[in-house]
Amino acid sequence: MPEGTLLFWHGGPHLRLSPSEVAREILWGEEVEGLIDLPIKAIIDALKSQFPAHREQPGQLVLQAGPGRLEITWTWQFVRADLRDVSGDEQQRLITAIEAFGCKSYEANPAT
């Protein structure tokens, strides 16, 4: 996936929406009932450890991934990763790091 968007969240027992419906709500900027709060600080720290070349600003973390980059944004409900020229290995490293916190990944199309 050289370009694309990945979303990560942790659905609780009261989540009633399908993954595509959750992604749609997140991309529309809505809160989603039934998602479990994420340990955002721990996730961001893990990403900075996995990708030492990074730049952090309030609400955004840009990770250098080989020749590409990962633009990470978040709320308490989800993590969004916009991928720019990222190799499959770098993408998998990102997924593994975030899924270690109980999150599921979903490949989203921001245009939907």
Instruction: Yes or no: say if 93 and 103 are a contact pair by the CB < 8 Å rule.
Output: no
Q: Which residue has the tokens 């979303």?
A: 7
pLDDT digit string (tens) for 58-95?
Answer: 999 999 988 899 999 999 999 999 999 999 999 999 99
pLDDT digit string (tens) for 32-53?
Answer: 999 999 999 999 999 999 999 9
Domain of 41, in residue numbers: 3-108
Q: How many domains does the chain have?
A: 1
- The residue among 66 and 27 whose pLDDT is bigger is 27
Model confidence at 112, pLDDT cuts 50, 70, 90, reads very low
Query: pLDDT value at position 3?
Result: 84
Q: How far is the C-alpha of 92 from the C-alpha of 96, rounded, in Å?
A: 6
**CATH, residue 9:** 3.30.310.250
